[in-house]
Structure 1
Amino acid sequence: MKQEHTITNVSQYLELIRENNYYHFIFRGQNEAYGGIQASGFRPYKGGWYTDTFYDIEGMKKEFYNKVIRRLSPDEREHFLAFCQHHGLPTNIVDFTRSPLVALFFACNGKNQPTESGKPNNYAEIYLIDKTRLIDITDLLVKSKNENFFEVLVENVDVQKEILVKIEQLFLENTGEFIHWIKNLIECYENNHLDIYGDRNIDINEDDELDSEETSGQCYSLTDYKDKIKNDGVNSLKELYIYVSSEIEDENITHSDNYYINDLEYGYYCNEAIGAKIYLALLINLLQIFINIKERIDIRLDIYFTYQPPDLFDRITNQKGLFIYQPYLYGVESVYKYGVLNYQSIIPDITVKVENYNNILKELNYLGINLESIYGDFDNIARSIKLNNDLLFPEKVKAKFSTY
């Protein structure tokens, strides 16, 4: 269940983190909600008939690369996605930080400025996401030269093999959660009215379902496994593996070396390995369905992918920054020719609403969290000095002229 809190000062914020043991989270501060957590490249997209456009992320990235390539260092070429983000090009990565105070600064900074809509901000928010649900795909992005990760995952067997190892490790670290994550992935099919074959709005006859269960001992459809694995995860997980293996139509997924399990993996202590293979197979199958039907679909996964480039810029170091990579698929509908953008939703585990943000900025400045420490470049050092001087200048002038 998602949690919400409200804070009005720095000490209250830090006490909230201490009391609730929020030390295993990453943080993002936003002074404007933008309708949720969205990468900058997705914000213009509204998903309607006449608002189907969004930034050509890949096209802009290639154009930018061609214009600046001769001036890039080897590290900047390798991590060109981070370079784009740093210089303000719209991308599909979202800034997060390991520092709660840095996130608080970003939530409060700029609140006196107009929003993109021209309306004043009413509140600021900080979003927290549990670190235990993160998979670092930095190495995979580098190997694929920053190509769209969802497209690479569907097509590249080597990437599938590597991500499978990462998912299995994550499941081993979250033995009490991974069954729930598989259940939620099945719900993603259900919520989008999809079956495992990619058909829409399939209604299941209850009598047929009972007959199927009595004769085969297995569930009739994918969504029937939600309760089975929840109530009897160990045994039902093996049943689900067999079901997925036989029912996913793309045999490149289910009959590859990546997906095959040996006799030892059927043992009780290897459920995480079986679960990881089920999860990856269902995810790739779901992405293939999205590519084929080209309709607006809600992609909600419990796992988030992170991108952690080296400290190419002082800003990454100062902000204790990392990125959540927001993977996406884009296609053009065949009949009416409007664009369809589907990207993974980022749903925070905890939301902290921030009030009294001007005083909080003063408290943060006293603690050394300001434009100078956050950015470190000459322009922001100057801006930081100016802001501090604006606060003190009237008293200085008064004291100066009182001596004459």
Structure 2
Amino acid sequence: MSRNKETHMDRVSVCPCHMREYGKKPSAQLKPPLFVMMEDRMPVSVMCMLKTPKTGRKLKITAENITQTLTRSWSDQSNSTFSNWRSGEPNNAGGSEHCTAVSFSDAGEWTDENCFYQLYFICHSGSSLASSHQYHFISESKSWSEAQTYCRQNYIDLATIDNMTEMNSVMNTVNMSYDGLAWIGQYDDVNSWRWSLDHDDFYLKGERNFRNWNHQPDNSDGNELCVYMNVIDGSWFDVSCDIYLMFVCFDGRENASQKYVRVYHRKTWSEAQTHCREFYTDLASVTNKTERQLILRMFVEITEENDEDKVWIGLHRMKLWSDQSNSSFTHLVSWIYPEPDNGLSIPGLTGSQHCTAVSLKYFGHWTDESCFDQLPFFCYRGEIIYLLYNEINK
């Protein structure tokens, strides 16, 4: 493939764009200080704007290869694991392609490129994040799905909340005119599991979907978002990510002496993930019965005492948002004790509370409720993305 070697940058312009229309494919989210592309929310209008420069079709984004395994990192230290590689990519051609570009002649798919090539690029200004949503309180009571439909027809979607600044904006929208519960866009899907090592090239067809539940998952306390494996019989259980367990790492490095590494230090799931990514490749993915047996053989001496029979694996999930945002904001102190509880504390409702509401009576604290309850709700619109284009002369 021939490549332009332009070096002179003659113009930079700033283009505001309102997020009013969404494409069908996962796409983008903003994280300071740079624009992180193709993650979860990319408006169609922005995709069209990215295609407008006349002197090239490819834009550099800020992911760089940090190991010779499947691990890559983002310039802004985001922990995004989303990828959209073109078939056959990344291939590290010539051993020198360590940065990532989006090819708009290939429907926005990604390629790895030499970091010294002169390409268009996209920056993100963190200043626009302070108040990225405009919230609207709708006093008419509806079920969660009815509220979602209303917001999508008249605004953008049910409210997504990314930080405490936005939580305060939601509260100010009501201005003490209402003190009950109101829907926001967060909901719980107990089947939305994904592996910590989330690279398509790592998995053969069907391997992502291998499971070995034992009458699980049940999300019994409303916040069971991580998975441990019982090393006596290999069965899986969903549980709170905050308990301390041993764990198994996957080592995909070329010089690795073994595929799986057992770690006896007890950590939370996120701490275990960090440890595995720092010293190996990632928390273990278990994609078939053979891999399950390999892990079980590592723990033949384990007995059912003091939680020694439980180890973290890489399967986990997040609370989801109606607009497909991957916001991880929960501000745990804002959950009303013992919320979320998935109806555990209410006779007859156990296992039936999957949608999130804000309690205006209790200072905006969150609670999980039955999605069929009739409540007022918050919509949002007016999110703005700022894109920088750098046009390069041939």
With the length of structure 1 as denominator, give the TM-score of the two structures.
0.25
Q: Select the structure of larger CA radius of gyration.
A: 1
Counting helix residues as a fraction of each chain, which structure ranks higher?
1
With the length of structure 2 as denominator, give the TM-score of the two structures.
Answer: 0.25
**More strand by percentage:** 2
